[in-house]
Structure 1
């Protein structure tokens, strides 16, 4: 008969490996209990892992689109609010113009000019509104301040306006503005309206582009608006709100409403004075009321357009959120684990580790000295 010997060291080594494996398994099981999904999806799903990856990518894409849509919604809401304030300023100007009527009282005229200048100054500040470091009314030039300080005394636009007036008087052999007739004033305002709306790309607008003189050669051939008032792009910001839908989510300061608002303010500040005839001033008042009415109508139209875009973004979000829920349900079916089973496995592994620790401690206490005494 042969007796075999088992080293206590080999037993301890085997036990140590068992403890290390149990601890590793316990970490994975605890992770599954916490997250509710497999610790190693690739091992658990095998051939269906690619489907899990596709669904996960779809969820991330939808979340990214929802984040982009939230920024677009913020831009739309801020733009609508600014346009609403601009509309209110237009109403203030209209009230001032109606208030003076056909009167020539210098005090009333001065109050009206001051009120209109203040409205224009506030209008410019709204036109330069920025959100998240992007100018709302700059079109795609969102990093460029879109509106010049048109209300300040001696601003570039007022100097240019005065230059056009001086040229008009010279070309028509009119000694001074006080000598302008009703027809003269009407002709000048018609020209300024054409200049404010001129498009350099339209050959028909060539007669209304800037010339040198009365302006510097550097601006010759440009339109009045982009040369002295606006730095904005005509192209608005666009956002992809779903995988197949793109909408405009901004406006710009080149719209007709913006142009008419500034034109109204300039002619009112320039001509609501006592140094022109009552007939000529009457033309100015009538035109200014018509222009500001058109400006307010256009501002309302822009608000309505942005409101429709905001509604489309809202509907898109609802659709995306529904898609996300559906995908997450399928993804959960693939990757989720039985929380109860995982918790039971953790407890079993904990018991195994504790037992291994106990056995290891007892093995370490084995010594021949204890049996030789």
Structure 2
């Protein structure tokens, strides 16, 4: 009988190779158990790999649209809250005028003027609302504050209104605003209102020749763009996700506040003062409820918000479907992955034990 000799080195080498193989498989099994996805998608999916990549791209695109829609929703909701607050300030102006009535008492007039100045200040702050560094009432000029502060030192807006009054008084040989009659006050307010709402251009004098022919509101009050921000909320749908401070409603609000602050004075002719109060009431009503009014802007914002909300629902449903389809291709059974990982651990421990015993084999132990 012939016997064959197998060295312990050969056995050890075989065990080392086995351990290396088990370790590699264990790394893959651990990765799949943690990520719950196949360790090597290319090997596992084969020809379906391109399909998985297409699904991943579609999910990324949908996520991008969802992010855009979420930002649009935030802008629209903030704009709606600001417009609601502006409307509340308009109601305060109406209440102040109603409370004042025909009173010529300085205390009552001062209270009314204070209410108007507070309303204009609050209105300006709401119009300058920003979301994530973007001014929501600036249109596409979202990095620029839309309205200048009428009460700021050296305010161009305040100076422009004063220049219009000075020019009117001079052109009509009126010594001062306190001596203006009702007809003269109405004439002045008609002229100034036309410039505020953009139906009449700036003239020189009283303004520099460089701005003659331009829009009074956009030159001295607003840096907003007439074009609103737009957001893509689906592959085929784009909505306006902001509004702007150049609307007729905002112009009328500012005009009503300013004339009541400047001309509801004790020393003025009572009929002229009554003309100012009447014009203020008319303008603030237009500011809140007419064409291009604050409430009309709120309505448009509400419509856009609803469209974005519906789009978000559709996008989320689409993402869920895509994610499920991709998961059916890429995902592993978590229980099976955990079982395989435990099996690999057991094999590795067994291999280590056998290797240790082989290394202890020596003829010296048997002599």
Can you list the C-alpha shifts for 1:297-343, whole angstroms capped at 9, x where unaligned?
Answer: 21111111111111111111111111111112211221222333323
* Structure 1 counterpart of 2:264: 272
Could you tell which deviates more after superposition, 115-124 or 143-152? 143-152
1:229-240 to 2 correspondences below 5 Å: 229-240=221-232
Partners of 2:280 and 2:143 in 1: CA distance: 33
Distance in 2 separating the partners of 1:153 and 1:271: 20
Aligned to 2:231, the other structure's residue is in SS state strand
Matches within 5 A, 1:88-237: 88-152=88-152, 155-198=155-198, 205=199, 208-237=200-229
Say if 2:63 is the partner of 1:63: yes
Specify the alignment match of 1:257 in structure 2: 249
Separation in structure 2 between the aligned mates of residue 362 and residue 153 of structure 1, nearest angstrom: 92
Equivalents in 1 of 2:233, 2:64: separation in Å? 10
Match of 1:201 in 2: none
Q: Deviations over 1:75-103 (max 9, x none)?
A: 11111111111111111111111112222
Aligned residue for 2:234, secondary structure, equals coil
What is aligned with 1:202? none
CA shift, 1:35, in A, is 2.8
Out of 319, 324, 327, the residue aligned to residue 324 of structure 1 is 319
- Residue 347 of structure 1 corresponds to 342
Any stretches of 5+ residues in structure 2 without a counterpart? none
Aligned partners of 2:201 and 2:235: how far apart in 1?
Answer: 43
Which stretch has the larger CA shift, 166-175 or 249-258?
166-175
Contact kept, 8 Å, 1:138 with 1:232, in 2: the verdict is: yes
- 2:9 equivalent to 1:23: no
* Structure 1 position 315 matched with structure 2 position 310: yes
Corresponding residue of 2:281: 289
> CA shift at 1:152, angstroms?
4.2
1:177–1:275 Cα contact (<8 Å) kept: no
Cα offset, 1:354, TM superposition: 1.3
Alpha carbons 1:26, 1:346 under 8 Å: kept: yes
Asked whether the 8 Å contact 1:33–1:343 carries over to 2, the reply is yes
Unaligned 5+ residue runs, structure 1? 199-204
**Structure 1 position 19, deviation (Å):** 1.0
Count residues with an aligned counterpart: 364
**Cα distance, 1:33 vs structure 2:** 2.5
Structure-1 separation of matches of 2:266 and 2:229: 45
Q: What is the distance in 1 between the residues matched to 2:247 and 2:14?
A: 81
In 1, the alpha carbon distance for the partners of 2:153 and 2:142 equals 27
Structure-1 separation of matches of 2:338 and 2:165: 86
CA RMSD of aligned residues (A): 1.7
Q: Indicate the larger mover: 240-249 or 175-184.
A: 175-184
Determine helix, strand or coil for the equivalent of 1:241: strand
How far apart are the structure 1 equivalents of 2:339 and 2:177? 96
In the superposition, relative to structure 1, how do residues 340 and 179 fare at CA in structure 2: closer, same or farther (>3 Å)?
Answer: closer
1:286 match: secondary structure = helix
